[in-house]
Chain A
Amino acid sequence: MDILSLFIVVPVLTILVLVFTRNLKQARLVSVVGSLVQLGMAINLVFAYLKERAINSDIMVFTKDVVWFEQFNIHYTIGVDGISVALLLLTAIVVLAGVFISWKMYDLPKEFFISLIVLSIGVYGFFISIDLFTMFVFFEIAVIPMYLLIGIWGSGPKEYSAMKLTLMLMGASAVLLVGILGIYFNSNADGGALTFNILEIAKANIPFEVQKLFFPLTFIGFAVIGALFPFHTWSPDGHASAPTAVSMLHAGVLMKLGGYGVFRVAMYLLPEGALHWSWIFIILSVIGVVYGAFSAIKQTDLKYINAYSSVSHLGLVLFALLMLNKTAWNGAILQSLSHGFMTALFFALIGMIYSRTHTRDITKLGGLLKVIPFISVIYVIAGLASLGLPGFSGFVAEMNIFVGAFQQEGLFMRIATILSVSVIVITAVYILRVVGIMLMGPIKNESYLTLEKVTWYERFGILLLLIPIVGIGVAPLWLSDMILESLQPFIQGLL
């Protein structure tokens, strides 16, 4: 079995075993083992990749190709570059942390973990696919379980949220499918057979008229899940209703499919379309960046704050992708990773606070530093990471984005850049507001004095997410260089 297909096979096996489990204990044990193996494989893949990269200069390494549906030339083609390796590692870490955070999932545990792992299959598959169609299939596999996870295990108006989220993402998928088919039917511009293979299509010269037509469809199709303004509204409601682990996976990993897809498909295959349309999407993404941050200031529900913060942070990803140079792209990928770890950590912490105090309304909380110091201190750290403090991953990512964006000349680009840099101030406002109201100050409610201390599995889940945040923040060079190397093919399309 090749090193990449294992990323699909192991979770499938995990699910098969899960089917035979009888209770929570067994289900979570199986899930933990399965996810641990995944994490081990992901770490191993990083080293294997670095080793392979030294001797192999192909765009994608560890490739494998199996014909899947001959009639339409659909293949199961897989392979990775530095970008996907990094994102696979992110996924493995977040999934494992999610399993630990769901330690006490008494409600239908077996079904819950199965759905969670199905979701992860979709994500893993998406990141390793080189074939557009296969990629699309995995994309759908990742989105569908979300409906069940929120609809069944959610809270609040869960049916409404689940329905809204699914419909909006499905709507986007429909647009995306049109885009993908458009690319497919023009993939033989130089003659030969139609193909879904990304590397093949990149070599073909798709006519400008076609690119102009299909770039917006592909871009929007992917960007909706990346919370592009004004298509972001599924995310606050979705997050608010979703159970903790689902929010973690959703914001931490699933939303990354958007940026990745935009980059790998829309920008890579339709570079002239990107050049033509970039201005409008730059405007939308900058609006998302600033608007998300300002919306977050006024929210009182922790999950809404974090959801709007995600709109802002991921707006920065889309913005950076549109800046069309390697530094900004590197920043976009780093920001995807950084945001993935950070937001998963935030949702985990919010889940812990909610399960203890039974509220997510910050105006009802106060003085938590005194009663649950560990969780609170980590919340402060996560907050500082989120506002881009040096020493944490967010800083590394943002600085790449800003320096990269500043390489683009012209008044329009400058204004867009300065507006997006301004979030370093607005983010500080909403983060410190929460820290001030919720964690500091006097204890607002007597019953908080007896809150349960942090448990070992919670601690483990937290540290799992915190280590990469600090690790990237302190020593970014290996990761950023690994990504930087893989960006060369993308820039060539633009030259």
Chain B
Amino acid sequence: MDISYIILIPIIPLVVFLLLGIFNQKIKPGISGYVGVFGLLASTTLSFYAAYQYFFVYGKVDGVFQTFSEKTVWMNFTDTLHIDMGILVDPISVMMLVVVSVVSLMVHMYSRGYMKGDEGYTKFFAFLSLFTFSMYGLVLATNLFQIYIFWELVGVSSYLLIGYYYTKTAAIAAAKKAFIVTRFADFGFLIGILIIGFYTGTFDFETLNNPEGSVILNWAATSFMGLSVITWALILIFIGGAGKSAMFPLHIWLPDAMEGPTPVSALIHAATMVVAGVFLVARLFPMFYFVEDGFALNIVAYVGAFSALFAAIIAITQTDIKRVLAFSTMSQLGYMMLALGVSGYEGHEGVGYMASMFHLFTHAMFKALLFLGAGSVIHAVHSNYLKDMGGLRKYMPITNITFLIAALAIAGVPPLAGFWSKDEILVAAFEHNKLIYYVGVFVAGLTAFYMFRIYFGIFWGKERTYDHKPKESPLSMTLPLIVLAFLSVTAGFIPFSEFVTADKAGFEAHLNYPLAAVATGVGLIGIVLAWIFYKNENSLSDRYAKAFGPLYKWASDKFYFDEIYMFVAKKILFKRVSEPIAKFDKKYVDGTMVGIGNKTVLTSKKIKGIQSGKVQDYAFAFIAGVVVLALVFIYLWPN
């Protein structure tokens, strides 16, 4: 299969970025929007063409999807270690191309309406293009170092876009926090890469992932503190992934990242960049699975499950709709992680892997839709808070319907997209780890509840007094909503298990009726409870909140993780490390140097009196010297 044209997919947004970035001041805003949209349209078309070619025209060879790659050396470290730049085409990278393209295109179109009149309009589109370029590069990466490079670039795009409203203090802090927290995670990632490079002699995915290759077969060659060094590396790499994918306890940046413009939240902090961590684990899945009997993979499963639960609980208590969606994203990412964590490798055993990728795909559609819908609402009422919303279904019919579809999809109501993918995840969990399965089912109920809590809160409930009458958003914004709603309905019918599996061979997936019934039932209970609590304004929710007492308070304060981090950063690192070091440097290190200088001056002052210039002093010294020497020679000199 000829894959050379695929290189154009990332190149086009890069060119758009450079054009818009360099000629920022000279381009009329209207034009920059079109440049962005059409550039991405071209990339999207190519992505779809590539997917069609890969899955249908070329298809499987000997029952397995092939992997293609093209690469060139970018930098040499040693004789064996080097960084390559290139493209790797296999089921998950093709799938990700489609996801990134679709969501990014929708967000580009939507932004033309949402950002209208903003003074940084061109800059905004430039940053979006930069992000899209980086994300394409990330999913197409052929080796660990390449993925790390683009990993950092999506990180900085995220930084720039969160801090887009750069005069707002909260936005600046959020951008900084997002970058530093993920950088901290990347510190682990980088060490992991270094370990892999040193002990295996390669960064290349194809070599690393080969189940019969020397890397996987020889994982036990070196160990450190009872675990294989490769396992350590995988754990460290997973820390990098957990940072990007906002897994507990590195999740604290994601809610704050909602300070960015809403289309950015939809694209970066819901559908694409945050799934990079999931993608990373999937990319290295054979290593995670085979090395040390999946020790590292178990960690992935438990971290994922805990994050899913943790975030869902917090999501119930939040009053800012974007933060609810942010915690929801974290929770769903936890789902994806746990699915990978419980997955096997071959055939139906690998259902977890398939389910994770499937959920990644469907989630991208309906979560982007939820965010864009929320953006449409925020655009209309100029507030993020539930207390300022209510009864909007009359004013915003399209937003209402599409938001409802997305909410049903995430709640796992058949036959919408989320139902299918979530079902597969629960099947995988049920077959491999009962505890995680129960957590998964419980989270499904919570998800339905918090999602319909905000749905009813926004579109039903009591009508507020609005400054000016809310009205439906323009077509540029509603059209993407409609397209994504369509995808949220239909995406579940894609027979994912034939295309994207761990062993690339595909298998026949069947709906597991009892499990599906349980999950759907739990979801419906969640929706009904939300209906009772929030459809009409009543005091029920407040009473229950009171009944839960401190638990409610903790959850709504996000279990104080922000405060803990702040304490460590401000009180310990700033006050107890940084400040003393700065003082130490001034007082002792520099003080010593200055002291040496001063002592020299002082000594010279003291002894300069000897050179008095008076003849009688010199004569005295001369005679005294002679006397002393004479005494020495006469009495002390040995014969």
Contacts and interface: CB of A to CB of B under 8 A. Distances in A.
A432 B167 contact: no
Nearest to B579: A298
B574 A425 contact: no
Given A230-B589, A480-B76, A299 B194 contact: no
Interface in B34-78: 73-78
Interface in B362-377: none
Nearest to A480: B75
B184 interface: yes
B280 interface: no
B166 A295 contact: no
B581 A391 contact: no
Interface in A260-311: 291, 294-295, 297-299
A481 interface: yes
Interface of A is mostly: helix
B183 A477 contact: no
B149 A390 contact: yes
Given A233-B593, A389-B156, A433-B176, A425 B183 contact: yes
Interface in B157-173: 159, 163, 166-167, 169, 172-173
B581 A294 contact: yes
Interface string B135-164: 000000000010011101100100100010
Contact of A440 (B75, B167, B180, B590): B167
B81 interface: yes
B190 interface: yes
B197 to A, nearest CB: 6
A477 B187 CA distance: 25
Contact of A404 (B75, B77, B148, B184): B77
B76 A484 contact: yes
Contacts of B176: 432-433, 436
Contact of B581 (A298, A384, A484): A298
Interface in B579-594: 579, 581-582, 585, 589-590, 592-594
Given A164-B593, A295-B581, A424-B190, A400 B77 contact: yes
A168 interface: yes
Nearest to A406: B194
A233 B578 CA distance: 17
A417 B589 CA distance: 24
A399 B180 contact: no
B172 to A, nearest CB: 5
Given A327-B77, A367-B167, A390-B153, A428 B574 contact: no
A27 interface: no
Interface in A376-416: 384, 387, 389-391, 395-396, 399-400, 402-404, 406-407
B482 interface: no
Contacts of A440: 163, 166-167, 172
Contacts, number: 126
A118 interface: no
A441 B167 contact: yes
A476 interface: yes
Contacts of A230: 589, 592
B226 interface: no
B574 A297 contact: yes
A298 B191 contact: no
B273 to A, nearest CB: 16
Interface in B424-483: none
A370 B173 CA distance: 18
A373 B63 CA distance: 57
A299 B75 CA distance: 36
A422 interface: yes
Interface string A336-354: 0000000000000000000
A189 to B, nearest CB: 33
Contacts of A402: 190, 194
A429 B570 CA distance: 12
Given A230-B589, A298-B579, A299-B582, A476 B74 contact: yes
Given A295-B582, A402-B194, A424 B186 contact: yes
A253 to B, nearest CB: 23
A407 B198 contact: yes
A399 B167 contact: no
A223 B169 CA distance: 42
9 contacts: A230-B592, A294-B578, A370-B167, A390-B152, A395-B149, A399-B77, A421-B191, A432-B159, A432-B179
Given A390-B152, A404-B77, A476-B74, 8 more contacts: A298-B574, A327-B78, A400-B77, A402-B190, A406-B197, A424-B183, A429-B180, A484-B76
The 10 closest A-B pairs by CB, nearest first: A233-B590, A390-B149, A298-B582, A440-B166, A406-B194, A297-B578, A436-B172, A432-B176, A294-B581, A428-B183
